[in-house]
Chain A
């Protein structure tokens, strides 16, 4: 028993896809050597290698073989503590606006307000089964930190979170939530103070404490077995969505749209559809303010790793990166902290290279517009990360080839809710005078929501 089971629905799937379903080993060899095509691997300091071996062993036993009923307990806790399954909701006004059926996979309704809990709960529980005594994690938007702090409190484990200084400042509500759940929050001042620096710092902590500490990595990034394991925990999204589509629509969707930072929401939303060749899969990346880069300054004003990055080695894996011609990693940018990362999961890099997943970009302005559209038209305040997926829906639906790109039925994952982003949104909206936005000047003139 490997994955969260797929229902036997008799829908058309390719023969090779069928094989992939029966054997986990068919999944891009990820179990044999930790790679997805050319990507993946274990590029870490020697001190961490035994911890990765130990983790791989635990992953195989508890996650893949359900030893000691681990997966049963995980599913039970996902349901009772996490609030799963989440609904697949038809978005009526967006459907009308875009002239096709738009369905929302409501991960914003998971406990904590984002898909991040699926993985955090899985890993903290696994750490417990492994006999670890301490949890550390990094966070960008603070959603993963919040989810980890919640899972650690729920399972009675001490927890420390590393977060870049810039992100501490732009995601304050989540910093409060982590503290309130009893986690220590350690701001990281290095570099531009975002996710990349926080990951490096957490790896440093881990290399001193591996004997009793588990590092709950927040996305499908890092060395093997993290990318495969986090995917498995997050694939509950597409497992449910696929079943819900068959039940509620009576067919598979024509396309699935998901925002991509590190890629855990993306892979989670795609995994059970990858074998369904009729379903188009779009990974929506942060186009930031521009797709151009400033090599001399070492800055990419976007986080569009799949769309514009090149192959390299960062944070334990070979994958696509934003890097200069020398191989130095560039600072990335996005208005949404959770997408602001110079790397991406190796499996996603592979799925893009093999043509199964199409990467697209949405810039800061379009994401903010989409944020307001979803909020005012559907009564759902999405995370700024999520808003990128809706930005692409809007853009693609306006194109001549919209029917080809999106099809008649579209699933968009609402990866998280936007409460954490309100200060940023008010500030950024005021700067830009966005059309889709309601009048927020009263808040802005009072200095945001402070």
Chain B
């Protein structure tokens, strides 16, 4: 298991941002991820783009297309991880086919070995349910990486137990049904999901639809150990790309958004001690 992920959650509520690596270009994307790190990311989920991202909504789908068009491949992804200068531990978010196809021998082991060498700490694989996950779990154990599972609002009973037996690092609590995408509200499903996981001994990070510092605050106040934010950040990258904004400007906006979210999360844990963020 990754000590660095444990440590990231040990120091209070974690802010876990997501970006697709290589969106819209390799160079710009490096700066964007580093901006999130400066803005207070505790763990960073880096998307390795797959051509059929069935769990993603339009925002991340488009990011994946931009990254693929920019030439992102699994090998370049590992180089990207090695080029990054960040404090936060990195988790790879991708689909199973890319993990399975990597390297000469069939199966997930070569991918996990290479990921460990590049300095990644774990994986989130949205199309790999616990039932199909043992080969990847074994490879993760061999190389000391975490395997994070997504718990959906509909997950119950035996399926929950199967995940609990196999999860490490943290558990990704999906706040509502559907694909990723920033929404205005935070679902009631969250509380019920957190209750179901109350006695799990891994941190619970809630994601899907979190967009503002206030959302983050409410999610943490209702018992989450962390918040995962993707589409709201990818939106900033997309805007910057569409408006031909200088990379540094987009990066600065990402850093500010990260700070807002990280501070919101902190406020949720400890409402009195944390100053209100500045209003834009």
Contacts and interface: CB of A to CB of B under 8 A. Distances in A.
Q: Do A and B bind each other?
A: yes
Nearest to A197: B52
Interface stretch (A145-153, A324-332, A383-391, A394-402): A324-332
A64 to B, nearest CB: 21
B178 interface: yes
Given A204-B179, A323-B101, A327-B102, A42 B131 contact: yes
Given A44-B127, A204-B54, A204-B55, 8 more contacts: A45-B127, A46-B150, A46-B152, A49-B131, A200-B52, A204-B57, A325-B101, A328-B50
A209 B153 CA distance: 12
12 contacts: A43-B96, A43-B127, A44-B129, A46-B126, A46-B151, A50-B156, A203-B54, A204-B57, A207-B55, A207-B179, A209-B177, A329-B52
Contacts of B1: none
B54 A200 contact: yes
Between B57, B61, B179, the greatest number of chain A beta carbons within 10 A of the residue's beta carbon is seen for B179
A89 interface: no
A203 B95 CA distance: 15
A47 B54 contact: no
A259 interface: no
B51 interface: yes
Q: Is the interface of A mostly helix, strand, loop or mixed?
A: mixed
Given A46-B152, A47-B178, A313 B57 contact: no
B15 interface: no
A41 interface: yes
Interface string B150-193: 11111110010000000000000010011100000000000000
Contact of A49 (B95, B97, B159): B159
A49 B127 contact: no
Contacts of A200: 52-54
Contacts of B74: 326-327
Contacts of A50: 152, 154-156, 159
A276 interface: no
Interface size class of B (residues with CB under 8 A): 35 or more
A191 B68 CA distance: 12
Interface in A201-219: 203-204, 207-211
Contact of A45 (B55, B61, B101, B106): B55
Nearest to B101: A327
A120 interface: no
B28 interface: no
A312 B149 contact: no
Interface string B70-83: 00011100000000
Nearest to B61: A190
Q: Which 3 A-B pairs have the closest CB atoms?
A: A327-B101, A208-B178, A47-B152
B252 interface: no
B55 to A, nearest CB: 4
B100 interface: yes
A196 interface: yes
Interface in A327-386: 327-329
A326 B48 CA distance: 12
A41 B127 contact: no
A125 interface: no
A157 B98 CA distance: 38
Contacts of A211: 154, 177
A196 to B, nearest CB: 7
Contacts of B159: 49-50, 53
